[in-house]
Amino acid sequence: MRNDRTPAKPHVWKRIRNITLLILGIALVAFVGIRYYFPYGEGVKTGQLNFVVYKGFLFKTYEGKLIQSGFWSNASGGIQSNEFVFSIADPAVAKELMKVGGQRVELHYKEYLGALPWRGYSKYIVDEILSIKPADTPQTSPLFMP
C-alpha cells in the first residue's frame, strides 16, 4: 500500500536542480553578453584630438581623448570643457590617430554598457575615422571686433 506522504524520489530533485542550474547559466551568459559584448548604441563625435596613448599593466590598450567645441556645466555657475574619453580596439585606427594629434577629427564609435579590461578602460570604443581636418585657427568673436 502506497502512502501519499512519501517524499519525492532523489532523482526528481536532481532533475529540478539541474534544470535550475541550466536556467541560471543561460541567464548569466545572456547578462554578460548583453552588458559587455553587444553594443548599446553607436554614433559620431567631432572635435579636436587631444591625445591617443597605448597603456596598461596586464592588458595594453589604446586610449584617447577628444575635446569638443563649446562648454557645458555640471553645476550651476561652473564651466567645464566637453571631453570625449574613448578606447580604440583596432591598432591600425589607433596608429592613424596618433599621427594627427591636435587636428579636428570625426570619429565613429560604439557604446557598450560596460568596459572590459582587454578592450579598453572606456565603454566607448572608436572603430572608424570618418574625417581628419586641420585644427581651426582661432577666430575673433564678432562681439569683440574693434
List pLDDT tens digits, range 83-93. 999 999 999 99
- pLDDT value at position 39? 85
Domain match, 44 and 83 both: yes
Same domain, 56 and 76: yes
114 and 59, same structural domain?
yes
Inform me whether the pLDDT recorded for 24 exceeds 70: yes
Cell numbers for 103, please give them: 587636428
Mean pLDDT of 125-131: 94
| Mean pLDDT value across residues 121-137 | 88
Q: Between β-strands 124-133 and 41-55, what pairing exists: parallel, antiparallel or unpaired?
A: unpaired
Asked if the structure places residue 91 within a domain, the reply is yes
Q: Considering the domain boundaries, does residue 145 fall inside one?
A: no
Give phi and psi for 58, each to the nearest 5.
-90, -45
- HSE-up of residue 46 (Cα within 13 Å, Cβ side): 11
Say how far apart CA 53 and CA 42 lie, in whole Å.
22
Is 83 part of a structural domain of the chain? yes
Average pLDDT, the chain: 84
108 and 81 within one domain: yes
47 closest CA partner among 31, 67, 28: 67
32 shares its domain with 44: no
How many domains, the chain? 2
Quote the domain boundaries for residue 23. 9-38
- The 8-class DSSP code of residue 38 comes to S
How far is Cα 118 from Cα 58, in angstroms, rounded to an integer?
Answer: 9
**Is position 142 within any domain?**
no
Average pLDDT over residues 112-138: 87
How does pLDDT run across 43-69, given as a tens digit for each residue? 999 999 999 999 988 999 999 999 987
Is pLDDT of 118 > 90? no
22-39 mean pLDDT: 89
